[in-house]
Amino acid sequence: EKGGYDHFMLKEIYEQPHAIKDTYRGRLLAKDGIIRMAGVENHKEKFLNANRIIIVACGTSWHAGLVAEYIFEDIARIPVEVEYASEFRYRNPVITNKDVVIAISQSGETADTLAAIKLAKQHGAFVFGVCNVVGSSIARETDAGAYTHAGPEIGVASTKAFTTQITVLTLIALKLAKEKGAISNSDFHYHLEQLELIPDKVSKALESDTHIKAVAETYKDATNCLYLGRGYNFPVALEGALKLKEISYIHAEGYPAAEMKHGPIALIDEQMPVFVIATKMGHYEKVVSNIQEIKSRKGKIIAIVTEGDTDVKKLADHTIEVPETLESLSPLLTTIPLQLLSYHIAVMLNKNVDQPRNLAKSVTVE
């Protein structure tokens, strides 16, 4: 049932090219320049007239929501708030019938997310679900939705659910951007073409596995790690840290790279591995200067870079390459090596990768 892999997590990491393709199949019609999503199409007015979108989720799904915030605001120009479902539901939040709430959940059974949806509905908001499990409680409770077609995710550490959630949310953002006229036709077409290329690029990123395993060997005995990223890749840093924590039990924190100088930089010494997402785009120069700051404090730098990068290579202790893509699509690639790193470290430390201690696949109690 593990299809020849040692663990479900590894199988699911390797399934991502297919899972992403299955998620956009029938929706992304690049040649015709169309995105077909009935759940969005049928409620277009709700989305287009919304004052804002509120995304509610927990854990990895919350990280996918953060990536979506960048895409929705950047491309569709719709204001977005991303909320931990557990905080939102108890905060007496301001919700009106002009709000659209998007609930993201792999299992569709997360208690806090379900409660947040019920609260939003009571206040008249339109609630849209992004779930993986068909017919789950959240899928049934929402007014409309779009499934991720990741297939069953068995490993407690979420992998393919994350990348397929980002795929669905990207499709929604692009569709709304087009409807609103917030994106030019040529830009829209270009995004569709680039999204269609992502599965092959994920396969390419997976080819670094042997190299990533060697990097994992070097850092497996660390007791603390930092993960840094900016912009679209800030949520990827959070997700990288969560993956390491939950399966290897190594303490890790994700930070926006520029926040480092507001505190975490004090932690940096020769014992501290710092994983930096430094792909060649938007904030590249700024990330390079963050790397210099770490280096001058003797931190160990492991950088995720764009294929062919030379600048970061000169500074970092290790680099791991991913193919080039649009900045907005880069989380779909940069997250891959971080998943593999956590996986290999956990295996090397003899941890129970698929069922880490104290964790459950669906958190049905608050």
Binding site for ligand M6R (CB under 6 A): 58-61, 105-107, 110, 113, 156-158, 242, 246, 359, 362-363
Which is it for the CA torsion 287, 337, 169, 239, positive or negative? negative
Is residue 98 annotated as part of the catalytic site, yes or no?
A: no
Q: Which is nearer to ligand M6R, 65 or 323 (CB)?
A: 65
Q: Which residues pair with 129 in a beta bridge?
A: 103, 145
Residue nearest to ligand M6R (CB): 59
Q: What are phi and psi of 92, to 5 degrees?
A: 55, 55
Least spacing, CB of residue 284 vs ligand M6R, in Å: 28
Shortest Cβ 157–ligand M6R spacing (Å): 4
**Closer by beta carbon to ligand M6R, 349 or else 363:** 363
Residue listed under structure tokens 């060997």: 217
- The stretches of the chain forming alpha helices (DSSP H) are 8-14, 16-24, 38-41, 44-48, 59-71, 85-88, 111-122, 137-141, 160-180, 185-206, 209-219, 234-248, 284-295, 311-315, 331-348
Rounded to the nearest whole angstrom, what is the least distance from the CB of residue 193 to ligand M6R in the complex? 30
Nearer to ligand M6R by Cβ, of 58 and 76: the residue is 58
131 vs 322, beta carbon nearer ligand M6R: 131
| Residue bearing tokens 């068909």 | 134
DSSP string, 163-186: HHHHHHHHHHHHHHHHHHT-S-HH
CB 52 within 8 A of CB 80: yes
Catalytic one among 121, 286, 351, 361? 361
Tokens found for residue 324? 């080039």
d(CA 200, CA 63): 23
Closest distance of CB 324 from ligand M6R, Å: 27
DSSP class per residue in 106-126: SSS--HHHHHHHHHHHHTT-E
Those residues whose C-beta lies under 8 Å from the C-beta of residue 282, and which sit 6 or more positions away, are: 230, 231, 232, 327
CB of 356 to ligand M6R, least distance (A): 8
- Which is closer to ligand M6R, CB of 113 or CB of 290? 113
Instruction: Output 164 or 330, the one with its CB closest to ligand M6R.
Output: 164
Report how far residue 41's alpha carbon sits from residue 130's, in angstroms, rounded to the nearest whole number: 15
Residue 182 C-beta: closest distance to ligand M6R, Å: 28
**What is the rounded distance in angstroms from the CA atom of residue 169 to the CA atom of residue 67?**
9
CA distance 72 to 87: 22
Q: Which residues are identified as catalytic? A: 361
